[in-house]
Amino acid sequence: MTRIKIFDTTLRDGEQSPGVNLNKLEKLEIAKQLERLGVDVMEAGFPASSQGDFEAVKKIAETVETVTVTALARAYKSDIDRAWEAIKDAKKPRIHVFIATSPIHMEYKLKKTQEEVSEIAVEMVRYAKEKCEDVEWSAEDASRSDLPFLASIIEKVIDAGATVINLPDTVGYTTPKEYGVMFRYIKDNVPNIEKVDLSCHCHDDLGMAIANSIAAMQNGATQIEGTINGIGERAGNVALEELVVALKIREDFYPYTTTLVLKEIKRTSDLISKFTGMVVPGNKAIVGRNAFAHESGIHQDGVLKNAQTYEIITPELVGIQSNNLVLGKHSGRHAFKDKVEQLDFTLTEEQITEAFKAFKLLTDRKKEVTDDDLFVILTDIQVDL
């Protein structure tokens, strides 16, 4: 089994979700929960972006005990100074410095040649290394970069002291095969690459972030960057809870382990949803309201006989108390009877038949029948007989 490090960027890339703005206390609460969740690295923020973010990152760095705390910096000395000032008191600090390497970013955004970008990257990694032993370097838009150029710049930043090399799919454009080929190329063409952690960072614009992250692992990535609930720029980052649970459930297929405490997933997801105001869609894998809910009679009957008929993940694994058999128009008598017993009613078979009829009539008017609705039906039946 290969150990994969989990780098959580909910507090940085996640906070870059349009409309999200976390205050210092909210960021601190999330950081504490990420520590309970057992991530290896948390990117606490981008200190050069605002005084508020600087203070939040500093507070997180002073508070977190076991997790590496990193802060983002553009390839400017002033950004690196600000990042270091914020994280220098962390037990395990890391500076994360990035510069774009794709032709479109270099030409239009940076207005620099490959040689200039290479020189800046090396100089900034050296500068960061004077302050901090652990330096991550990211090639922004790596997945649209020229591979020989990427290999040559990575070789130089490793020589300059980088400890982690991150190759983001910044615009969520790559495919699993293409992204895997890029990681394999870097593994095969960069001397000393085995001395650093190779990291992937996927955005979900084409809905391929999970598949791309898995392809990266299969081709040498040992660190995965992502966010909880998949929040982040545009369509978001890879959803860490989905990736990690997929690895666990299909460990027969994927020989990778992480140290994430899976039963903390639901609590973490709820906290982040509450503080960011980003509602988790009901049908979202792992943490959505419906992820462990069964509505149809056939499914409910199967689950009551053996949950594995329709559940590949136990709700308890990710910190959810139990599955949920939603009583609606597709529900059958078996699930209904089970619910009657849960509500502590003891009815005869005849009473159950009566109550079930009343319940079915109600489902034509109400999408979901609640415990209160059932209580009324069942009490009526008991009183009537």
Binding site listing for Mn(2+): 13, 201, 203, 237
Place of tokens 């980052």: 237
> In degrees rounded to 5, what are phi and psi of residue 185?
-60, -45
Total residues contacting Zn ion (rule CB under 5 A)? 1
17 near ligand KIV, judged by CB under 6 A = no
Question: How far does the chain reach from its first CA to its final CA, in angstroms?
Answer: 62
Binding residues: 13, 201, 203, 237
Nearer to Zn ion, 13 or 79 (CB): 13
Q: State in angstroms the smallest separation of the CB of 79 from ligand KIV.
A: 12
Q: Contact with ligand KIV (CB under 6 A): which of 14, 45, 168, 226?
A: 168
Residues 108-167, interacting with ligand KIV (CB under 6 A)? 138, 140, 166
Instruction: Return d(Cα 98, Cα 85) in angstroms, integer.
Output: 18
Residues 221-280, interacting with ligand KIV (CB under 6 A)? none
Q: State in angstroms the smallest separation of the CB of 233 from Zn ion.
A: 6
Q: How many CB atoms lie within 10 A of CB 51?
A: 8
Nearest in space to 72 (alpha carbons), one of 57, 62, 60, 92: 57
Please identify, among the stretches 12-20, 56-64, 78-86, 214-222, the one whose residues bind Zn ion according to the rule CB under 5 A: 12-20
Instruction: Return d(Cα 37, Cα 260) in angstroms, integer.
Output: 6
Total residues contacting ligand KIV (rule CB under 6 A)? 9
Q: State in angstroms the smallest separation of the CB of 307 from ligand KIV.
A: 39
Instruction: Return d(Cα 109, Cα 302) in angstroms, integer.
Output: 56
Q: Contact with Zn ion (CB under 5 A): which of 4, 12, 13, 345?
A: 13
Residues 92-121, interacting with Zn ion (CB under 5 A)? none
Instruction: Return d(Cα 372, Cα 385) in angstroms, integer.
Output: 20
Q: State in angstroms the smallest separation of the CB of 202 from ligand KIV.
A: 9
Q: How many CB atoms lie within 10 A of CB 341?
A: 11
Q: State in angstroms the smallest separation of the CB of 98 from ligand KIV.
A: 4
Amino acid at 314: T
Instruction: Return d(Cα 31, Cα 167) in angstroms, integer.
Output: 24
98 near ligand KIV, judged by CB under 6 A = yes
Residue 103 contacts residue 146 (beta carbons within 8 Å): yes
Q: Please name the helix (run of DSSP H) or strand (run of DSSP E) that holds residue 120, with its range, or none.
A: helix 114-131
Q: State in angstroms the smallest separation of the CB of 268 from ligand KIV.
A: 20
Please identify, among the stretches 7-15, 101-109, 266-274, 364-372, the one whose residues bind Zn ion according to the rule CB under 5 A: 7-15
Nearer to Zn ion, 141 or 354 (CB): 141
Q: Residue 145 touches which of ligand KIV, Zn ion, none (CB < 5 to 8 A by kind)?
A: none
Residues 292-331, interacting with Zn ion (CB under 5 A)? none
Nearer to ligand KIV, 170 or 268 (CB): 170
> In degrees rounded to 5, what are phi and psi of residue 178?
-65, -45
Nearest in space to 336 (alpha carbons), one of 322, 349, 317, 319: 349
DSSP output for 217-229: HHTT--EEEEBGG
Q: State in angstroms the smallest separation of the CB of 106 from ligand KIV.
A: 14
Nearest in space to 104 (alpha carbons), one of 155, 145, 153: 145
**Interacting residue ranges for ligand KIV, rule: CB under 6 A:** 13, 98, 138, 140, 166, 168, 170, 201, 203
The site for Zn ion (CB under 5 A) is made up of 13
